Amino acid sequence: MTWLNTAMFDKLRGAARVAVLTGAGVSAESGIPTFRDRLTGLWERFDAAELATAEAFRRDPALVWGWYEWRRSQVLGARPNPAHEAIATMAKHVPHFTLVTQNVDDLHERAGSTQVLHLHGELARPYCERCHRPFDLSINIAEMPEGGCRIEPPRCPHCLWRIRPGVVWFGESLPGPAWNAAREAAERCQVFLCVGTSALVQPAASLTICAKRAGATTVQINPNPTDFDDEVAYAIRGNAGEVLPRLIEEVW
């Protein structure tokens, strides 16, 4: 493979602190559509970005809640792929390992990763819009039509207010604790891997530059060119599910 580089392997093998940032491309290899993929079914006439806002939820809560439940049903039917599994394996070889993800699914956790920093929230953790208490999901996903459907959001059992999806919508701030921990990991790591992300969504994309400025060896794994191709020390072109298992094999 053209990306094989012994210097990069040595950097990773000798690193006591490694941080990994994953994006939609990693979950896409498990069949989870990205925001850039064309929607189908009931959602065919919508842009995903138009549904992922607080304004859209206030305007039509049943439409937005139904869409997120449809997305959650896709996640429940998906399985972790070799990229998720390779990242979980990598963590076992590194004394101080931090996994940061822009993805809202739980595929990293199901592959064995722990203490994942979810910058954009989690589909499986909705909460009350008013009192912010977490809500235990009880909808029977199996009954959802294949193309999705409108679903009225459930109500909080404590204050009877509306439950909202547990994700960070466009225009909202990232969760402070997760973001602060991600920044600290980027600033302290010796190797930083950016995997399956377009490097367009801020502020998550800034973590790669943060790590570079702090002196870390930066590695990008992506099947397509990104704005970071000339910024990172190593730009590897390929699918995460193919590159990461091979990387683990070569390094450890």
120 is catalytic: yes
Element (H, E) at 24: helix 24-28
DSSP secondary structure letter of residue 38: P
Measured between alpha carbons, how far is 151 from 129 in angstroms, rounded to an integer?
A: 17
Contact 96, 17 (CB under 8 A): yes
Q: How far apart are CA 19 and CA 187, in angstroms?
A: 10
CB 240 within 8 A of CB 221: yes
Counts for the chain of helices (H) and strands (E), in that order: 10, 8
Helix or strand run (H / E) with residue 128: strand 127-128
Catalytic-labelled residue, pool 108, 120, 132, 158? 120
Among 173, 208, 240, residue whose Cα is nearest residue 21: 208
Q: At 50, give phi and psi (nearest 5°).
A: -75, -25
Q: Which two tokens stand for residue 124?
A: 């499986």
Active site residues: 120
